[in-house]
């Protein structure tokens, strides 16, 4: 069983920018990760299985809907608290952070923001306690970066709509109790709705043989003439901006989460470099290894500053989607690079499950692709600064 030796790293005294509540939340989640997640996650990743027994603990530490108001079962916390929770979870494993960020930002957020009062009351409390797990269906087999071209559609049948189509690469799909699904109506307008497990014609086959995010369950959402009651449709939101606003929240959480994965790789590599002796000296005494470690903490610190500022802007409702794209893109690329460098410091040991680095590295290959790829986020920045879309 793996012992988590992680130690706190705060090179620029960023803790001084946090409130006591932020630090308490961090400590709570970090302790839980060390006690409940780190000891088992490698085994589950090797077996490509989601550790379902962690769901109750995730709910207890407030990982489901931290910024959703308490009236609906959330914690009513600020955006920096949400970021800190994502950071600490992803220090443990990106797949577990995925489950929490999908539940919070892609399921609870749209139900809270776009749902009717009845929908909020019906779903949010059960999602906050983890009694129900949700998934988010936007991507389709033929439409990933370009979700506006989706073909999944609904037909008005009076009391209900008839839903047909398929979503692919959906986190939590195989065991979700409900899915927030985006589909076009007869006029080609995108609508959002809640589809519940058990509705006839709705199935969620699992996607196997992933080398990445192995402790997270990924699957399809298949709709074959599913009768979705009209009361399950989000009443007012129309168009692509509905699902894309949910992505703003999830991408923001990922920007924090990636720092967690990077910190874990840095922490592991630093400890190993001090302990491992070659040529009668610790690896940490060689300039080439110091260069790697020094660059890692520099990049982590830059990412922390970027993300903390974004959190402040988000708390003030001033963070733009393009600012969020910049942070998601920068931080995930930073974490992926650090994971690859850290793995080299560990030599052959770096490829084993004895250490978390290879798992982080493989996980980050998904994180750099989902929620908008590395290149799509660059194009979003490009469009923001030039005013010209280079997507098509």
Residues designated catalytic? 371
Which CB, 32 or 252, lies closer to ligand TGC?
252
Q: Does 138 bind ligand TGC (CB under 6 A)?
A: yes
Shortest distance (Å) from residue 150 CB to ligand FAD: 10
Can you spell out the DSSP letters for 59-85?
A: HHTT-SSTTS-GGGTS----HHHHHHH
355 vs 370 by CB, closer to ligand TGC: 370
* Cβ-proximal residues to 223 (8 Å cutoff; 6+ apart), any chain: 152, 163, 164, 165, 166, 181, 183, 195, 201, 202
- Closest separation in Å from C-beta 384 to ligand TGC: 10
Out of ligand FAD, ligand TGC, none, what residue 307 binds, judged by CB under 5 to 8 A for its kind, is none
Residue closer to ligand FAD by CB (options 349, 378) is 378
Which pairs count as long-range contacts for 322-326, CB under 8 Å and 24+ apart, including other chains? Answer: 322/380, 322/381, 322/383, 322/384, 324/248, 324/251, 324/252, 324/255, 325/251, 325/372, 325/377, 325/380, 325/381, 326/377, 326/381
Q: Which stretch binds ligand TGC (CB under 6 A): 73-81, 133-141, 154-162, 274-282?
A: 133-141
- Is residue 372 a contact residue for ligand TGC (CB under 6 A)? yes
Residues 85-104 that bind ligand TGC (CB under 6 A): 98, 101-102
User: Smallest distance from the beta carbon of 388 to ligand TGC, in angstroms?
Assistant: 12
245 binds ligand TGC (CB under 6 A): yes
Residue 218: strand, helix, or coil: strand
Q: Which residues, other chains included, contact 77 with Cβ-Cβ below 8 Å and sequence gap of 6+?
A: 21, 25, 62, 66, 67
The verdict on 378 binding ligand TGC (CB under 6 A) reads no
Structure tokens, 94: 């990106």
Record the tokens describing residue 259, joined without a space: 């720092």
Q: Residue 87, exposed/middle/buried by CB under 10 A (0-12, 13-18, 19+)?
A: buried
List residues binding ligand FAD (CB under 6 A): 102, 135-139, 144-145, 169-171, 213, 218, 366, 369-373, 375-376, 379, 391
Position closest to ligand FAD via CB:
144
Q: How far is Cα 160 from Cα 116, in angstroms, rounded to an integer?
A: 16
- Residue 321 touches ligand TGC, criterion: CB under 6 A: yes
Under the criterion CB under 6 A, does residue 57 sit at the interface with ligand TGC?
A: no
Alpha-carbon span 150 to 2, nearest angstrom? 43
CB-based contacts of 346: which residues, under 8 Å, 6+ apart? 268, 269, 272, 355, 357
**Which does residue 375 touch among ligand FAD, ligand TGC, none (CB within 5 to 8 A, set by kind)?**
ligand FAD
142 binds ligand TGC (CB under 6 A): no
For residue 70, the minimal CB distance to ligand FAD (Å) is: 27
Residues contributing to the site for ligand TGC (CB under 6 A): 98, 101-102, 136, 138-139, 145, 147-148, 171, 239-241, 244-245, 247-248, 250, 321, 370-372, 376, 380, 391
């Amino acid at each position: 069983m793996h012992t988590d030796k992680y130690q706190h790293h705060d090179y620029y005294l960023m803790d001084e920018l946090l409130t006591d509540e932020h630090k308490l939340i961090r400590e709570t989640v970090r302790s839980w990760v060390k006690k409940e997640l780190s000891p088992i996650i490698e085994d589950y990743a090797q077996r490509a299985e989601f550790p379902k027994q962690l769901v109750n603990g995730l709910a207890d530490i407030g990982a489901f809907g931290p910024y959703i108001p308490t009236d609906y079962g959330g914690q009513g916390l600020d955006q920096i608290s949400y970021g800190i929770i994502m950071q600490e979870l992803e220090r443990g494993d990106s797949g577990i952070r995925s489950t929490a960020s999908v539940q919070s930002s892609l399921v609870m957020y749209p139900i809270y923001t776009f749902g009717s009062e009845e929908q909020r009351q019906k779903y949010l409390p059960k999602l906050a306690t983890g009694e129900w797990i949700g998934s988010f269906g936007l991507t389709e087999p033929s439409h990933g970066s370009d979700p506006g071209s989706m073909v999944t559609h609904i037909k008005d049948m009076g009391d209900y709509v008839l839903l047909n189509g398929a979503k692919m690469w959906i986190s939590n799909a195989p065991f979700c109790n409900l899915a927030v699904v985006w589909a076009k109506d007869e006029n080609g307008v995108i609508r959002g709705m809640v589809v519940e497990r058990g509705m006839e014609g709705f199935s969620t086959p699992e996607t196997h043989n992933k080398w990445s995010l192995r402790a997270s369950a990924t699957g399809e959402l298949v709709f074959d003439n599913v009768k979705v009651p009209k009361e399950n449709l989000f009443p007012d939101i129309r168009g692509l901006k509905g699902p894309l606003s949910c992505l703003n929240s999830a991408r923001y959480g990922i920007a924090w989460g990636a720092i967690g994965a990077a910190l874990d790789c840095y922490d592991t590599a630093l400890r190993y470099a001090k302990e491992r002796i070659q040529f009668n000296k610790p690896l940490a005494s060689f300039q080439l290894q110091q260069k790697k470690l020094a660059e890692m903490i520099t990049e982590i610190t830059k990412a922390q500053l970027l993300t903390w500022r974004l959190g402040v802007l988000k708390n003030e409702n001033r963070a733009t989607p393009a600012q969020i794209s910049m942070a998601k893109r920068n931080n995930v690329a930073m974490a992926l690079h650090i994971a690859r460098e850290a793995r080299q410091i560990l030599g052959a040991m770096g490829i084993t499950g004895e250490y978390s680095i290879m798992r982080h590295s493989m996980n980050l290959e998904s994180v750099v692709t989902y929620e908008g790829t590395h290149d799509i986020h660059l194009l979003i920045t490009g469009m923001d600064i030039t005013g010209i879309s280079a997507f098509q």
